[in-house]
Structure 1
Amino acid sequence: MDVVTVGETMVMFTPQTMGLLRYAKQFVLSYAGAETNVAIGLSRLGHRVGWISQVGQDEFGESLLSFVRGEGIDVSEVKKHPTAPTGLMFKEYLNKKELRIYYYRHQSAASMMNRQNINKDYISQAKFLHITGITPALSESCREMVFEAIQIAKHHGVKVVFDPNYRAKLWDTDTAKPILLDIAAQSDIILPGLDEGTLLVEKDKPEEIADALLDLGAKLVVVKLGPRGAYYQSAEESGYVSGFPVDEVVDPVGAGDAFAAGFLSGMLEGISIESAVQRANAVAAMVVMVKGDYEGLPERETLMRFMNQSSQDVHR
Structure 2
Amino acid sequence: MTHSFLPIKPAGSTRWDIAALGEVMLRLDPGEGRVRNTRQFQVWEGGGEYNLARAASKCFGLSSTIVTALPRNDVGWLVEDCISQGGVDTSHILWRDFDGIGRESRVGLNFVERGFGLRSARGVSDRGHSAASGIRPGEVDWDKVFGTQGVRWFHTGGIFAALSETTAEVTVEAIRAARAHGAVVSFDLNYRASLWASRGGSAAARDLNRAIAPHVDVLFGAEGLGSAPSGGDPRAAIESAVADFPNLRVVATTCRTAHSANTNDWSAILHADGAFHASRERPGLDILDRVGGGDAFASGVCWALMAGKTPAEAVEYGAAHGALAMTTPGDASMARLDEIERAIHDNDAGVIR
Give the TM-score of the pair, scaled to structure 2.
0.82
Alignment equivalent of 2:146, drawn from 113, 116, 123: 123
Secondary structure in structure 1 of the residue aligned to 2:203: helix
Asked if structure 2 preserves the Cα contact closer than 8 Å seen for 1:12 and 1:89, the reply is: yes
Name the aligned partner's letter for residue 146 of structure 2. Answer: I
Residue 92 in structure 1 maps to residue 113 in structure 2: yes
Of the three residues 173, 178, 183, the one matched with 1:158 is 183
Residue in structure 1 matched with residue 39 of structure 2 by the alignment:
25
Q: Which moved more, 1:281-290 or 1:97-106?
A: 97-106
Moved more, 90-99 or 117-126: 90-99
**Paired residue for 1:144, among 150, 164, 169?**
169
Amino acid at match of 2:272: S
The answer on whether the counterparts of 2:268 and 2:319 sit within 8 Å (CA) in structure 1 is yes
Q: CA deviation at 1:123?
A: 2.7
Return closer, same or farther for 1:231/1:301 CA change in 2, 3 Å cut-off. closer
Structure 1: which amino acid aligns with 2:49? E
Q: What is the match of residue 132 of structure 1?
A: 157
1:232–1:238 Cα contact (<8 Å) kept: yes
Q: 1:235 to 1:105 in 2, by over 3 A?
A: same
**In 1: Cα distance, 2:341 partner to 2:273 partner:** 30
1:126/1:246 CA distance change after superposition, 3 Å: farther
Identical amino acids, percent of aligned pairs: 25
Deviation at 1:308, TM superposition (A): 3.0
Q: 1:309 maps to what in 2?
A: 346
Q: Are residues 1:169 and 2:194 paired?
A: yes
Q: CA deviation at 1:201?
A: 2.7
> Matches of residues 18-97 of structure 1 in structure 2 within 5 Å?
18-19=33-34, 21-44=35-58, 45-83=60-98, 84-93=105-114, 95-96=116-117, 97=119
Q: CA RMSD in A?
A: 2.0
Give the superposition deviation at 1:91: 1.5
Cα distance in 2, alignment partners of residues 35 and 183 from structure 1: 16
Aligned to 1:212: 240
**Letter of the 2:174 counterpart:** A
What 5-or-longer segments of structure 1 have no aligned partner? none
Q: 1:266 matched to which residue of 2?
A: 304
Q: Determine the structure 1 residue equivalent to 2:214.
A: 185
Greater helix content: 1
**Over residues 204-230 of structure 1, what are the superposed CA-to-partner deviations in whole Å (9 max), with x where a residue is unaligned?**
222322222212131221132133422
5+ residue gaps in structure 2?
Answer: 1-15, 99-104, 257-264
| 2:268 aligned residue (230, 235, 244) | 230
Using the alignment, how far apart are the partners of 1:301 and 1:134 within structure 2? 30
Preserved CA contact (<8 Å) 1:164 1:180? yes
> For 1:225 and 1:122, how far apart are their aligned partners in 2?
34
Cα distance, 1:243 vs structure 2: 3.5
* Paired residue total: 307
Q: Displacement of 1:309 after TM fit?
A: 2.0
Matches of 1:235 and 1:141, distance apart in 2: 34
- Cα deviation for residue 199 of structure 1 reads 6.2
When residues 95 and 220 of structure 1 are mapped into structure 2, their CA distance, relative to the original with a 3 A threshold, is closer
Q: Secondary structure at the match of 1:138?
A: coil
